[in-house]
Amino acid sequence: MSEKLQQDSLWIRRRIIELAHNAGANGSHTGGSLSLVEILCCLYSNCDIASDGTHERNRLILSKGHGALALYATLERYGKLSKEDTDTFETNGTKLFAHSSRIVDKGLEFAGGSLSLGLSFSVGVALAAKSHGYDNQIYVIVGDGECNEGLVWESLMSISNYGLNNMTIIVDNNDLQSDGFGSDVMNSKPLTDKFSAFGFDVHEIDGHNIDEITQVLNTKHTNPKAIIAHTTKGKGVATMENNPSWHHGIVNDVIYNEAMLNLNGGTA
Amino acid sequence: MIDLKYNARSFCRLGQSGSICGMAIPAAREKYPIKVLSADMSVAAGLDRFKKLYPDDFYNVGIAEQNLIGISAGLASEGFRSVAVAQAAFITMRAFEQDRQFMGYMNYPIINIGISSGFALTYFGNTHYAIEDLAIMRSIPNMMVLSPADAGAAVKAFEKALELNVPTYIRLTQGLMPPIVYKEDFEYAPYHITEIFGEGHDVTIFATGSMVHQCIKAAELLKEEGINCRVMDVHCLKPLDEATILDACNSKLLVSVEEHNVVGGLGSAIADVLASQEKHPRLLKLGVKDCFSTVGDYNYLLEQHRLTAAQIAEDIKKYI
């Protein structure tokens, strides 16, 4: 299982770089997409995330809309988007731009982009599920930079207040945001203590370790669950790793070749 | 239609918010899968009865208007009919981006009810006055904007919003016992401006919300002086009934009156329609002249902004 997911992750990273390269001068959010890859692979492989439109479906809501490119590539890997779909990334008239649209039957649950709105929306979705008596799970991915937003904390307060143990929040904790390192811009640490104080079952893991992610996703929980996944922005491409300038950047031919070499196991 | 008998006097006793929250919403719950959400304003809004009848269908999200609209959207995405209730100033301004994202862009048919708009909160001061809400809500694509003139009309507006099932902002104001404009039951025509008083072609006054009543009184004063005024109730600011505005261009003077900033509200909406016409009468825009207020009681505030019936009549006379 772990080996297959590692192969999936590699495929998805290559596809992210290809699509970013195709987008050319439009640029794309490569760094924050590359940090998300293992998390997305494990969610789609372990959690029965459905795109069949049934009300009882498990959902993944990408509140961190800036990671949409990783989601598109993952949905292609798992057959929910076609290559023809993802090839439209950042072309005129596309529905697959830097931040996703809501297209439920393609597995895109939320029109992300404005940070924190997806988490607040998810609270309503989880309340509706409880109200119907469904036994499903609502997975939400937020970024650590996104946790600067006040609405994140309004949402966490309400998740705790309503006892929404049908929610799992995964923080893609790559410690980078547009202006630089989170600890320099606006320090939101310690996230674990904060989520605990809000009544969550909190797990801290290596967000690139497939075994750790799988295990924590499969851990039963009676309270709302929060997974603080420590990740590396730009993971897998040497020049992008932990480099603030790859929050949003242009993958030209040189970068593309370097990146593909890295992702094929070599160094540039 | 919901099963609720029109009774202007009992609606008046409850006020606009009390009539919708205390009467219309509980009645509507029998037919629609309604969820009501409030940002710590349920008691003031008159939701106690609904909470007692349907405790599982009410969520108090606390003093958190942004989350109020986000959660309402999540529930709406699952097929519930979300009704969000908070003070007009905060449900439109604090939550503006959520209103735009969820009601506009994502097009969820939330009914967003703003209570105590305009100067209703008198001694609470300018932080609590909503004199920009029509302007900003009108600017959001997909949004229907309703501004009923009395408590009965507020119930009608709510019923229509439920029936049309589109994203809707309902602007409410005043407390208990607001003046009655619509004494008898009436057919509520959405998207139409309603002529409710007067005749002749001297002056056509377009009024909205609380100002409809003041303008009827102003028109009565002017009639005594031989000036014929028609008063039109603009209960729906968006979509706007452009045909009725253009029909009124045979008047000598057009007037707009709103308990709202003259920037971006009713007067601006009418001016937008007139601007494309080769010839049209002058438009006198009465309202708050782009300023904050000196705090006082309701009549003090209306007088400060020249929005009492007598002042409206005086200002109209200067232009004819």
Cβ atoms of A240 and A34 within 8 Å: the answer is yes
Scanning every residue of chain B, which has its alpha carbon at the shortest distance from the alpha carbon of A56? B78
CB contact under 8 A, A117 and B101: yes
Q: Is B287 left (phi over 0), alpha (psi -120 to 50) or beta?
A: left
- Residue A186 to residues A56, A120, A144, A182, A192, Cα–Cα distance (Å): 38, 21, 10, 6, 16
Cβ atoms of A247 and A177 within 8 Å: the answer is yes
ipTM: 0.92
What residues of chain B lie within 8 A of the CB of A129, using their CB?
78
Task: Measure in Å the smallest separation between the Cα of A176 and chain B Cα atoms.
Answer: 25
Residues in chain B: 320
- Asked whether the predicted pLDDT for residue A267 surpasses 70, the reply is no
Question: What's the confidence (pLDDT) of residue B1?
Answer: 75
Question: What's the confidence (pLDDT) of residue A215?
Answer: 97
- SS3 category, A232: coil
Question: What's the confidence (pLDDT) of residue A143?
Answer: 97
- SS3 category, B33: coil
Tens digits of per-residue pLDDT, A180-212? Answer: 999 899 998 999 999 999 999 999 999 999 999
Scanning every residue of chain B, which has its alpha carbon at the shortest distance from the alpha carbon of A127? B75
Cβ atoms of A128 and B57 within 8 Å: the answer is no
How many other C-beta atoms can be found within 10 angstroms of the C-beta atom of residue B160?
22
Instruction: Report the C-alpha gap between B261 and B92 in whole angstroms.
Output: 15
Residues within 8 A of B (CB atoms), A 20-59 only:
55
Q: Which among B59, B62, B67 is the nearest to A151, CB-wise?
A: B67
Cβ atoms of B245 and B206 within 8 Å: the answer is yes
Tens digits of per-residue pLDDT, B178-207? Answer: 999 999 999 888 899 999 998 888 999 999
Q: Is the bond leading into B239 cis (omega within 30 degrees of zero)?
A: yes
Nearest to B131 by CA among B312, B247, B301, B313: B301
Nearest to A117 by CA among B221, B283, B97, B25: B97
- SS3 category, B261: strand
Tens digits of per-residue pLDDT, A253-265? Answer: 999 999 999 999 7
β-pair type (A225-230, A201-206): parallel
- Asked whether the predicted pLDDT for residue A242 surpasses 70, the reply is yes
Q: Who contacts B79 (Cβ-Cβ below 8 Å, separation ≥6)?
A: A55, A128, B33
Scanning every residue of chain A, which has its alpha carbon at the shortest distance from the alpha carbon of B73? A121
Question: What's the confidence (pLDDT) of residue B201?
Answer: 83
pLDDT above 70: percentage of residues in chain A: 99
Q: Which among A122, A129, A158 is the nearest to B61, CB-wise?
A: A158
Burial class of residue A243 (count of CB atoms within 10 Å of its CB; 0-12, 13-18, 19+): middle
> A–B: how many Cβ contacts below 8 A?
85
CB contact under 8 A, A124 and B62: no
CB contact under 8 A, A127 and B62: no
Question: What's the confidence (pLDDT) of residue A51?
Answer: 85
Which residues in chain B land under pLDDT 50? none
Instruction: Report the C-alpha gap between A8 and A78 in whole angstroms.
Output: 9
Tens digits of per-residue pLDDT, B88-118? Answer: 999 999 999 999 999 999 999 999 999 999 9
Q: Who contacts B275 (Cβ-Cβ below 8 Å, separation ≥6)?
A: none
Task: Measure in Å the smallest separation between the Cα of A197 and chain B Cα atoms.
Answer: 18
Nearest to A107 by CA among A139, A136, A135, A152: A139
Mean pLDDT of chain A, nearest integer: 95
What residues of chain B lie within 8 A of the CB of A117, using their CB?
70, 97-98, 101-102
Q: Is B132 a catalytic residue?
A: no
pLDDT confidence tier of residue A266, bands split at 50, 70 and 90 = low
Tens digits of per-residue pLDDT, A10-56? Answer: 999 999 999 999 999 999 999 999 999 999 999 999 999 988 889 99
Instruction: Report the C-alpha gap between A15 and A22 in whole angstroms.
Output: 10
